[in-house]
Amino acid sequence: MFKRIISSLVILAVFASLSLAKAKDFGPLTIDVPSGWKILRANDSTIVISTLDETKALRVDAGRLDGRTLEEVAQAAAKEMNGTKPRYDKKTGTYRFRGMLESMYEMNIIVRGFENSDVVVRIFWAADGASISKKQVESILNSLRVR
């Protein structure tokens, strides 16, 4: 009986933590801001979220394909940021590369499109050791949806 109660409490805690993510609209998108994170800045095309202590941050820029392919957008972004050659990830349907943000900060970048939509996003986070885990990035990436 006691084990059942503890198991039930653990399950409730997991679901409660999942439900604490806050949805935030910006531009044509909605993003789920994870529990323990906050919005630093948001406008019609960009949102920057960080951990509450601001030791980790992630930036999402929204734009349009404007007749270009996702690969062309990724290549242009890599060139603009003096980045490495974008690699296509079949599993996630994204292009990934490293580049320089504002010529000062080495960043990991993901370029992602959305099915049946002209919307494209570029997602940036620091390439250093204090970076966000791959699991956190994928969770935030998967929370993005076109409104």
C-beta separation of 99 from 81 below 8 A: yes
> pLDDT tens, 3-27?
444 433 333 333 344 445 789 988 8
CA–CA gap between residue 56 and residue 54 (Å, rounded): 5
**Structural domain spans, the chain:** 21-146
Note if the pTM is more than 0.85.
Answer: no
Q: Among residues of the chain, what percentage have pLDDT more than 70?
A: 85
Q: Note the pLDDT of residue 20.
A: 57
Q: Which architecture does CATH list for 21-146?
A: 3-Layer(aba) Sandwich (3.40)
